[in-house]
Structure 1
Amino acid sequence: MSTPYPPEPWHLVGRGLITTWRVPVGAVPALPPGARPLPLGPGHAAAVTMLVDYRPGGDLAYRELLAGVLVRVGRRPALSVTDIWVDSEASLAGGRALWAVPKQLASFGPGRQTSVAADGRLLATVGEDGVGRLAAPVRVASRIAQERDGRTLVSRVAASGRLRPARLTWHVPARSPLAWLTAGRPLVSVAADPFSMTFG
């Protein structure tokens, strides 16, 4: 019996910690057909990591760790999610079936030093060292680009919320699937608190 999940679009609310990275193009994981990394200086690409707490009030409540690469598909930019873990079987099943997002299951520790592990292996530890008081309202319409059966599936995402500057530390073990990020360096971090999102 398949795991039930909400039909699209999903309406989600919560809080997220977001960091942008500058990563060598050669370290970038495989991307969908036709997707090209957006350049961030010679020989480098822009990547994004997020630790998200989707809270009650949306279609699903769960936690999520993801990494992705900013790409261009045709003339328009998008985010290609290369690595993603959640603690909800419904989110996993729906993400894969509806949008080809390669979700896997993981466990998430408590507190401001959040450790995320899967199959007995530490994926990353995200430390929240401080969040600024000043908040800027933001509204974004974007896309994600994922591979399905050798083709690129593009889906819509819209989000709004309040962004605050944040001091975040990302510890990624050498054996983590996210170790490709350590070939580069983090740039800017923000906390989206609160935010709402419509996916699909």
Structure 2
Amino acid sequence: MRIPSVPESLLATDVVLPESSAPAPWKTRIDAAFWWHRASPEAAAQLPVELRALGTIPVTLVAFVRYRESPVGPYSEVFASPVLLRQWPVPPLHVPFIAVDSLASVHGGRVNWALPKTVASFEWGPSSIAASGDGWDVAATAQASTPKFPVAGGLKVVQLFDEGPRPAWVGLYGRARLGRVTVAASGPTLSSWLLPGRHPALIISDSTMNVGAPR
């Protein structure tokens, strides 16, 4: 199955993936920093043509996620959605850039959800996170500005399979704080649509995330 992606998510030809991984759905335990900003003029062009035709909302969503527990073990992840899709009542996101430090997660993401996962290395500090891959890097420093509060909700993700677009629901519940992240990014496309600077953020700690099977 060919999975559309930005150049930063291309999987090197010498990467050897496992033959199998855990099937969907996945129940996980995470720490994460989600942030968002108004989409750049170049952002919508990162979507496959089939999804651009649905219409877009100019909001970019990005996250660093550390999986404490998952069906394929602990791992780290960074992903970005350049724009939201204009569908209601929940505007979905499409993920053309996603990288992890687990080959089992690469396999599971590609097979279960048509997510173009590639391989990266990660560094986690007390308030900073950095990921780097083949010709790209993303770094963020997070600062919380509120006490922790309960959070419950979800996201809808639409990815392209051989048979066409299919949605999956991602549910989240746990504890979070509002804050800001200061971001820097580089890469063939990331530098044009994953904007640097200071952005509002949702900082999540030790929470449950359930990633449903595509429908």
Match of 2:131 in 1: 116
* 1:101 is the counterpart of 2:115: yes
* 1:81 is the counterpart of 2:95: yes
Identify if the C-alpha distance between structure 1 residues 25 and 153 changes in structure 2 by more than 3 Å, giving closer, same or farther: farther
For the residue of structure 1 that corresponds to 2:108, the secondary structure is helix
How far, CA to CA, are the matches of 1:163 and 1:74 in structure 2?
26
> More strand by proportion, 1 or 2?
1
For the residue of structure 1 that corresponds to 2:190, the secondary structure is helix
TM-score normalized by structure 1?
0.83
How far, CA to CA, are the matches of 2:104 and 2:151 in structure 1?
28
For the residue of structure 2 that corresponds to 1:117, the secondary structure is strand
TM-score normalized by structure 2?
0.78
Map 1:16-165 → 2, pairs under 5 A: 16-28=32-44, 29-31=46-48, 32-33=50-51, 34-38=53-57, 45-56=58-69, 58-59=70-71, 60-68=73-81, 69-73=83-87, 76-111=90-125, 112-119=127-134, 121-128=135-142, 130-149=143-162, 151-165=164-178
Query: How well do the aligned residues superpose, as a CA RMSD in angstroms?
Result: 2.3
How far, CA to CA, are the matches of 1:166 and 1:76 in structure 2?
23
Identify if the C-alpha distance between structure 1 residues 5 and 182 changes in structure 2 by more than 3 Å, giving closer, same or farther: closer
Q: Per-residue CA shift, 1:82-108, capped at 9, x if unaligned? A: 211000111111111111111111001
CA shift for structure 1 position 187: 3.9
CA shift for structure 1 position 147: 1.3
How far, CA to CA, are the matches of 2:68 and 2:195 in structure 1?
33
How far, CA to CA, are the matches of 1:89 and 1:36 in structure 2?
34
How far, CA to CA, are the matches of 1:164 and 1:74 in structure 2?
27
Aligned length: 190
- Amino acid of the structure 1 residue aligned with 2:47: A
Q: Extract unaligned runs of 5+ from structure 1.
A: 39-44
Q: Give the % identical residues.
A: 25
CA shift for structure 1 position 125: 1.3
